[in-house]
Structure 1
Amino acid sequence: MTQRRAYRWPQPLAGQQERIWYGGDYNPDQWPEEVWDDDVRLMKKAGVNLVSVGIFSWAKIETSEGVYDFDWLDRIIDKLGEAGVAVDLASATASPPMWLTQAHPEVLWKDYRGDVCQPGARQHWRPTSPVFREYALKLCRAMAEHYKGNPYVVAWHVSNEYGCHNRFDYSEDAEHAFQQWCEERYGTIDAVNDAWGTAFWAQRMNDFSEIVPPRFIGDGNFMNPGKLLDFKRFSSDALKAFYIAERDALAEITPDLPLTTNFMVSASGSVLDYDDWGDEVDFVSNDHYFIPGEAHLDELAFSASLVDGIARKDPWFLMEHSTSAVNWREINYRKEPGQLVRDSLAHVAMGADAVCYFQWRQSKAGAEKFHSAMVPHAGEDSAVFRDVCELGADLNKLSDEGILGSRLAKSRVAVVFDYESEWATEHTATPTQHVHHVDEPLAWFRALADQGVTADVVPVRGAWDGYEMVVLPSVYLLSEETTRRVRDYVVGGGRLVVTYYTGISDEKDHVWLGGYPGSIRDVVGVRVEEFMPMGNDFTGVPDHLDLSNGAVAHDIADVIGSVDESATVLATFKDNPWTGMDGVPAIVANTFGEGRSVYVGARLGREGLALSLPEILESLGMAEAGGNDGRVLHVEREGADGSRFVFSFNRTHETVRVPVEGEVVVSSFADVDGETASIKPNGVIVTKK
């Protein structure tokens, strides 16, 4: 396993106290210099103490090959630093300038049909290009040499959102690199043949030179699933190798500056294996953009909890989120009143010690001109900027109260998330295209919250086996190592929930034989013989199954053929007798060693899980795990000195009254009256015990 880099956090400017970092992406090169002084004035008014600079400035910094212009960047960094605003300086390599791609079109990535991605947007470079790497590292070294020792630069922002647009490259460079990656991973071509099951459809290879990326194979055909899974692993690794090269070039010249790059962790974000990448940064950073609608707060809290898991509960940096609307959805909904402050404090509750936005000043031109910002087109006389100032004051208050010495308190319950299981379930030849790993963890997080339990979201490589109760939600891939951890956990007294679509295959996507979930059947006490997908694409097919406890299953159910003598059926399916599902077990409790398990054999969604959870928790001996008001999301951060910061967020669109324990530090859209508080929709209160 990779050695995790030592945790290092950006330190405050000389003479300043450590505080929650607050600010955003700043693009002064988009504006005339007369705007810069006004920017600094407004930053001080809002309480901004850090901005990220230079993220997309390569063409402005290296104006032609080997010709550098640092003068403008020096001037703005000095203005910011003298005003007490620190700089998170970007390597500026996210998008190459036109002079580079014109001279070297071979750095442009290709799609799976072989078409070249032309310049004109961003991230139009291939991660495996030795030519592009040479130019990018030359820029990194020039930036580091120029800014080493600069008192206002507190961290390196390496590139930007790796893989957002160039996750997959099918070029000749990528082909050669994929061959090398396979040789390093497997050693022999026979091992690759075994991993990919190439005996099927006469795909056997005689040499590593016969390995090609999963390029276009014709509409309606099916790619080898083992190759496709490995190509996704390779693509994450190829981008990671490029990041490491940039990181090391910068660190060699400026060893005292911590380095990070911004991940894109969200409930559906599986572009890269961010938990694997978490080993390679000095501190974890994340970009998160809200999901409009009723799941807004819950999805944000779920994602932030996963970032905390990736960071192993060290403080992490919210590098980007939005003050209001984004610009890249078909419909770009604004945030409701209160959500700008509420969303930011939710990230802080989940362990963020930095809150930054994209971006500082809303662009007047370009593809992101309608993306919201801290200073909107309307200027400082606007609700958005007033909220930005309010948030700055709130973060300063929390800093004054000592929140920087605290960490997100460990929950009793862990929900496991696995990037590779999501990649495997994305294949186009599966029992149903409507079921993926990525959907189930969020449903469990929300259903547990409905029961008053705020779970930790923990990567599969993380220490989930240190929790009282663990949920494995559609964790499709169970390697031998993860299987051993599951078995040891339950034998030792752990309480485990396993759902449908868990433990179907090993890490090579080879099915565990003998009935599902193959490697842990005895742990959960069931043997699943086949799947029952459901839908509405053909007239007369089943579109749901009722359960005896009142829940309703959609999309997929397990055909459980038998249960062990140690098991107890908690709920069954109810259906017409001729379907074969009437009376079939749906939820089964089991004892194994010193522990207990529950198997949930269908997709029940948040509502069905919330309905079923009381009996599930009871059977696991965890009935007392809830107890909090499910209308309120409760999150605690605890300090080494025993202090506790308690965050209470209203999850509903109705005012909720809650008891107040301790001193109220911050409140938004809430009225505090002695020992109780009324939290309005989109409201939050933070108390200190």
Structure 2
Amino acid sequence: MAQRREFRWPQPLEGDEPRIWYGGDYNPDQWPEEVWDDDIRLMTKAGVNLVSVGIFSWAKIEPREGEYDFDWLDRIIDKLGHAGIAVDLASATASPPMWLTQAHPEVLWQDYRGDVCQPGARQHWRPTSPVFREYALTLCRAMAEHYKDNPYVVAWHVGNEYGCHNRFDYSDDAQRAFQEWCRERYGTIEAVNDAWGTAFWAQRMNDFSEIVPPRFIGDGNFMNPGKLLDFKRFSSDALKTFYIAERDLLAEITPGRPLTTNFMVSAAGTGLDYDDWGNEVDFVSNDHYFTPGESHLDEMAYSASLTDGIARKNPWFLMENSTGAVNWRRINYRKEPGQLVRDALVHLSMGADAICYFQWRQSKAGAEKFHTAMVPHAGEDSQDFRDVCELGADLRLLADEGLIGTRLAKSKVAVVFDYESQWATEHTATPTQNVHHWTEPLDWFRALADRGVTADVVPIRGDWDTYDTVVLPSVYLLDEANSGRVRDYVKRGGRLIATYYTGIADEKDHIWLGGYPGSIRDVVGVRIEEFAPLGDDHDGTLDHLDLTNGTVAHDFADWITSVAPGARVLASYRADPWTGMDGVPAITVNDYGDGRAAYVGCRLGRDGIAASLPDLLAALGVDAADETDGAGDVLRVERVADDGTAAFTFLFNRTHHPVTVPLDEDATLLVASLAGATDDGAAVTIAPNGVAVARR
């Protein structure tokens, strides 16, 4: 396991008290200088104390090769610093200038058909290009030397959203780097042949020079799954290697300044292995944009919890979110009243000690001109800016009351997420294209919340085996080490819930033989001979299965053919006899060592999981779910001090009607956005999109 860098957090400007960092991306180079003073006036009014500067400013900083213009950047940083606003300074390498790509078109990435990504947007560079790396590091050196003693720069913002647009590159540079990556990972070409199963379809290779990226192989054909999985690993590593080169140069020149880069952690944001990347930053930072519709709050809480897991419960930095609509969806929905403040406090509750937005002032030109900002097109006299000011006041109050220094309290339940299992389930030759890993952890998180349980979302490399109860939701890849962790965890008394499509293959995507789930079959106490995918794309196919507990399975079911002697069947299928599924076990629980393991052999969805949880947890001997009426109406999150001297309770309304929640006797209501205490002060009533924060 990779060594994690020592945690280091941006420190306040000299003479200032520690605060929750608050601000956003600031692009003064998009505006005439007469706007700058007004920006700082409004930042002061809103309580902004940090902005990220220079993220897309390479062409402004180095207008021609070797010619640097720092004057404008010096002036704005000086203005900000004198106003008490710290700077998170970018390395500015995210988007190369036109003069560079015209002189060196070989730095442009290529897609799997060989087409070149032309300049005209951003991230049109290939991470394995030695030419681009030289230019980028030259800029990093110039930036670091110029700002190494600047007292207003509190952190380095290295690159920006690596892999957002250049995750995959299939160029000759990438081919050479992929060959070397395989050499380092496997040592011999025979080990690569074994990992990729090249005996199939005569793909055996004699030398590392025969390794090529998974380029276009013809429409409707199937790429080697082992190669494709490794290329996704390589692509994450290639971008990480580029980031590390920037980071190390900046750190060498400015050793006292913490460094980060902004991840894109979300339920569906699985492009890079952000848990692996978490080893390489001084503090974790994340960009998160809301999912419109009914999953808005839950998906945000899930993603924030996963970010906290990647940060290993150290404070983390919300580097970007939106005050309202974004610009990049087919339909860019606005936020509802109250959601600007509530959404920020969701991230704060889950361990963020910084709340920032893209961006400070809404652009009047360019591709993101319709992306909302802290200062919208409507200006200061707008509801968004009033909400921005309200949030700034809330953050100041919470800091004054001691929130800084607290962490997200550890839940009793961990829901495990694995980037590589998601990558493996994306292959085009699987039992069903309707099932991938990432949806199942989110469903379990939401179903547990429906039962009054706020789970922690923990990466597969994290400490999930220290929790009272663990959910392994469609964790398709389980290598020997993690299979051993599962076995040891349950054996010593842990309570495990494993679902369909878990423990199917090892880290090479080689199937564990002998019946599914091969690597933990003894733990869960079931043996599956065949999958039974469900769908309606052909007339007469089985599109669902009813369970004896009243729930319904869709998309996927296991054909469980034997159950361990000591295992109990909690629910079975009801189906026509000709289907072969009537009476087949669907949910089981098995004693193993001092612990118990449940197995859910089908996709029940959020509602089906929530309905099954009471019996499931009871069979496991777990007292976790709250069965009182309305237990799932409120998402309850706690931050606690390590020494137990302070605890902050965040209460979020998950419904579209007002909810009244009792307050602890010793609790003081601090923040009430679309909420208010009852007349007796013993409870708080929270409106839709509302939040209340109490300290005890």
Q: The TM-score by the shorter chain falls in which range?
A: over 0.9
Structure 2 stretches of 5 or more lacking a match? none
2:693 maps to what in 1? 686
**Aligned 1:371-382 pairs, distance under 5 A:** 371-382=371-382
**AA matched with 1:30:** Q
After TM superposition, the score normalised by the length of structure 2 is: 0.99
The answer as to 2:21 corresponding to 1:14 is no
User: How far apart are 1:277 and its partner, in Å?
Assistant: 0.2
Q: What do the CA deviations read for 1:33-59 (whole angstroms, capped 9, x no partner)?
A: 000000000000000000000000000
Q: What do the CA deviations read for 1:228-262 (whole angstroms, capped 9, x no partner)?
A: 00000000000000000000010000000000000
**Aligned 1:416-455 pairs, distance under 5 A:** 416-455=416-455
Picking from 663, 669, 692, the partner of 1:664 is 669
Structure 1 stretches of 5 or more lacking a match? none
**Aligned partners of 1:248, 1:142: CA distance in 2, in Å?**
14
**Aligned 1:117-156 pairs, distance under 5 A:** 117-156=117-156
User: How far apart are 1:625 and its partner, in Å?
Assistant: 4.5
User: Using a 3 Å threshold, how does the CA distance of structure 1 residues 395 and 316 change in structure 2: closer, same or farther?
Assistant: same
User: How far apart are 1:667 and its partner, in Å?
Assistant: 1.0
**Aligned partners of 1:114, 1:625: CA distance in 2, in Å?**
53
1:558 maps to what in 2? 558
2:642 maps to what in 1? 640
**Aligned partners of 1:541, 1:640: CA distance in 2, in Å?**
55
**Aligned partners of 1:477, 1:516: CA distance in 2, in Å?**
12
2:682 maps to what in 1? 675
Q: What do the CA deviations read for 1:556-610 (whole angstroms, capped 9, x no partner)?
A: 0000001000100000011101000010000001000000010000000000000
Picking from 627, 650, 653, the partner of 1:650 is 653
SS at match of 1:623: coil
Shift >3 Å, 4+ stretches: 624-628
Q: Are 1:669 and 1:680, in contact at CA under 8 Å, matched by a contact in 2? A: yes
**Aligned partners of 2:647, 2:244: CA distance in 1, in Å?**
37
User: How far apart are 1:123 and its partner, in Å?
Assistant: 0.1
Q: What do the CA deviations read for 1:142-191 (whole angstroms, capped 9, x no partner)?
A: 00000011010000000000000000000000000000000000000000
User: How far apart are 1:640 and its partner, in Å?
Assistant: 2.6
**Aligned partners of 1:368, 1:639: CA distance in 2, in Å?**
40
Q: Are 2:417 and 2:441, in contact at CA under 8 Å, matched by a contact in 1? A: yes
2:463 maps to what in 1? 463
Q: What do the CA deviations read for 1:602-659 (whole angstroms, capped 9, x no partner)?
A: 0000000000000011011113443672110000000134211000000011111100
1:258 maps to what in 2? 258
Q: Are 1:491 and 1:594, in contact at CA under 8 Å, matched by a contact in 2? A: yes
Q: Are 1:412 and 1:625, in contact at CA under 8 Å, matched by a contact in 2? A: no
Q: What do the CA deviations read for 1:4-51 (whole angstroms, capped 9, x no partner)?
A: 000000000011100000000000000000000000000000000000
**Aligned 1:270-349 pairs, distance under 5 A:** 270-349=270-349
User: How far apart are 1:352 and its partner, in Å?
Assistant: 0.1
**AA matched with 2:543:** D
The answer as to 2:91 corresponding to 1:95 is no
2:527 maps to what in 1? 527
2:536 maps to what in 1? 536
Q: Are 1:20 and 1:404, in contact at CA under 8 Å, matched by a contact in 2? A: yes
Q: Are 1:447 and 1:610, in contact at CA under 8 Å, matched by a contact in 2? A: yes
CA RMSD of aligned residues (A): 0.6
**Aligned partners of 1:319, 1:405: CA distance in 2, in Å?**
19
**AA matched with 2:655:** T
Q: What do the CA deviations read for 1:86-118 (whole angstroms, capped 9, x no partner)?
A: 000000000100000000000000000000000
**Aligned partners of 2:683, 2:489: CA distance in 1, in Å?**
41
Number of equivalent positions: 689
**Aligned partners of 1:183, 1:676: CA distance in 2, in Å?**
62
**Aligned 1:12-51 pairs, distance under 5 A:** 12-51=12-51
Q: Are 1:614 and 1:623, in contact at CA under 8 Å, matched by a contact in 2? A: no
**AA matched with 2:648:** F
**Aligned partners of 1:258, 1:616: CA distance in 2, in Å?**
45
**Aligned 1:53-68 pairs, distance under 5 A:** 53-68=53-68
User: How far apart are 1:3 and its partner, in Å?
Assistant: 1.0
Q: Are 2:453 and 2:624, in contact at CA under 8 Å, matched by a contact in 1? A: no
**Aligned partners of 2:640, 2:627: CA distance in 1, in Å?**
20
**Aligned partners of 2:583, 2:571: CA distance in 1, in Å?**
9
Q: Are 1:263 and 1:285, in contact at CA under 8 Å, matched by a contact in 2? A: yes
SS at match of 1:501: coil
SS at match of 2:615: helix
SS at match of 1:414: strand
**AA matched with 1:315:** P
Q: Are 2:448 and 2:625, in contact at CA under 8 Å, matched by a contact in 1? A: no
SS at match of 2:245: helix
**AA matched with 1:104:** H
After TM superposition, the score normalised by the length of structure 1 is: 1.00
**Aligned partners of 1:508, 1:67: CA distance in 2, in Å?**
48
**Aligned partners of 1:81, 1:332: CA distance in 2, in Å?**
35
Q: Are 1:647 and 1:686, in contact at CA under 8 Å, matched by a contact in 2? A: yes
**Aligned 1:232-247 pairs, distance under 5 A:** 232-247=232-247
Picking from 610, 631, 634, the partner of 2:633 is 631
Q: What do the CA deviations read for 1:471-530 (whole angstroms, capped 9, x no partner)?
A: 000000000000000000000000000000000000000000000000110100000111
SS at match of 1:578: helix
**Aligned partners of 1:203, 1:449: CA distance in 2, in Å?**
48
1:203 maps to what in 2? 203
**Aligned 1:477-516 pairs, distance under 5 A:** 477-516=477-516
**Aligned partners of 1:156, 1:620: CA distance in 2, in Å?**
47
Of stretches 614-623 and 310-319 in structure 1, the one that deviates more from structure 2 is 614-623
**Aligned partners of 2:616, 2:450: CA distance in 1, in Å?**
14
**AA matched with 2:41:** R
